[in-house]
């Protein structure tokens, strides 16, 4: 299936319409790594795709020994990157589960990131993986001037990544996540960072979505009129600005940016801009992501409700 069409069921797999990645995921689950090598080597200069592909592959490989076996048999930059990503995924999963082994896994992941960075110094992806682990160390680098709260954080590591790739999508999202309350941050810091990072990005950049990510993170269903937040003029204007300046460019993306489209579609739907939300949901086709819908309940039910409200077809009986 292709984005822009809908044949009656959602496709939740993060590979979406990246068919080469989907095939590599199938091979990884079967214990084979050759196609993983090919899809990663193909992205040595396409850092955004490389980050996405390596993360999806790592999620598939995290419950097996494939990454370790590949690195031992063929120690390439791609093998080292997948090993670093797998170690990162395992550490984050353990930490989120409040497992006592998380500390040891963080140290293993940090070492793996350093090894991958040495093999391909121009690749920001190992540093991005290390940035995802920064919340366990609570770095206290001073913030740059011009911010309201100037929250300390892993600014030096983030700056190093930006020197390699100024608009690295995952790096910006990982950095913002450092300031989430559930990761030890604060609401004031989260909003300050989201605003600072989004406003320095080009108007047609997906990074303009960062405040919408922070808005979902801030959602409290018990708060009075919580679902009316997106109807406030500032948030309606933010969503419409992204729709006007970024959304038209997504048709030229190498693969459908499902997660970013989902955040935009959700914001437009919550702002009761059904016409614009319909266009974004249509562009997603059958591909779906659990966020941001899962922050509001069952993701499939919430997505289906949005599609139905916009006059789009919804899944039939399985």
User: Averaged over 213-224, what is the pLDDT?
Assistant: 92
| Residue range 11-54, pLDDT digits in tens | 999 999 999 999 999 999 999 999 999 999 999 999 999 999 99
Q: What is the mean pLDDT of residues 283-287?
A: 95
Mean predicted lDDT score pLDDT of the chain: 94
With a cut of 60, say whether residue 2 has pLDDT above it: no
List pLDDT tens digits, range 188-200: 999 999 999 999 9
Q: Residues 228-254: pLDDT tens digits?
A: 999 999 999 999 999 999 999 999 999
Question: In the chain, what percentage of residues exceed pLDDT 70?
Answer: 98
Residue 3 has pLDDT above 90, yes or no: no
Q: Residue 98's pLDDT band (boundaries 50, 70, 90)?
A: confident
DSSP string covering the chain: --TT---SS-B--TTTT-HHHHHHHHHHHTT--HHHHHHHHTTTT-HHHHHHHHHHHHHHHTTSSHHHHHHHH---HHHHHHHHHHHHHHHHHHHHTT-TTHHHHHHHHHHHHHHHHHHSTT--HHHHHHHHTGGGTT--BPPPTT-SS---BSHHHHHHHHHH-TT-HHHHHHHHHHTSGGGT--HHHHHHHHHHHHHHS-TTSGGGGHHHHHHHHT--TTSTTGGGGGGSHHHHHHHHHHHHHTGGGGGGSSS--HHHHHHHHHHHHHTT-HHHHHHHHHHHTTB--STTGGGGS-HHHHHHHHHHHTT-------
pLDDT over 50 at 1, yes or no:
no
Write out pLDDT tens, residues 148-161. 888 999 999 999 99
pLDDT digits (tens, 9 = 90+) for 254-264: 999 999 999 99
């Amino acid at each position: 299936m292709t984005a822009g069409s809908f044949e009656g069921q959602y496709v939740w797999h993060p590979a979406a319409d990246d068919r080469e990645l989907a095939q590599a995921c199938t091979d990884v689950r079967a214990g084979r790594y050759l196609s993983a090598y090919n899809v990663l080597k193909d992205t040595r200069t396409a850092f955004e795709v490389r980050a996405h592909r390596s993360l999806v592959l790592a999620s598939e490989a995290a419950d097996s020994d494939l990454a370790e076996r590949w690195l031992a048999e063929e120690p390439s930059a791609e093998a080292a990157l997948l090993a670093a990503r797998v170690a990162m995924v395992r550490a984050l999963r353990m930490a989120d589960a409040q497992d006592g082994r998380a500390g040891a896994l963080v140290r293993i992941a940090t070492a793996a990131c350093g090894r991958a960075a040495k093999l391909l110094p121009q690749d920001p992806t190992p540093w991005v993986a290390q940035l995802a682990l920064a919340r366990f160390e609570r770095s206290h680098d001073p913030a740059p001037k011009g911010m309201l709260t100037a929250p300390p954080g892993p600014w030096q590591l983030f700056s190093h990544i930006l020197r390699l790739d100024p608009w690295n999508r995952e790096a910006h999202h990982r950095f913002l996540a450092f300031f989430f309350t559930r990761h030890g941050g604060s609401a004031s810091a989260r909003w300050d960072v989201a605003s600072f990072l989004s406003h320095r990005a080009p108007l047609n950049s997906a990074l303009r979505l960062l405040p919408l990510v922070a808005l979902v993170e801030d959602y409290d269903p018990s708060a009075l009129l919580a679902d009316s937040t997106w109807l406030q003029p500032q948030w309606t204007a933010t969503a419409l600005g992204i729709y006007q300046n970024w959304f038209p460019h997504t048709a030229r993306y190498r693969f459908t940016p499902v997660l970013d489209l989902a955040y935009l579609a959700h914001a437009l739907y919550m702002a009761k801009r059904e016409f614009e939300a319909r266009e974004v949901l249509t562009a997603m086709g059958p591909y779906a992501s659990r966020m941001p819908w899962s922050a509001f309940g069952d993701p499939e039910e919430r997505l289906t409700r949005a599609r139905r409200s916009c006059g789009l077809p919804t899944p039939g009986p399985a």
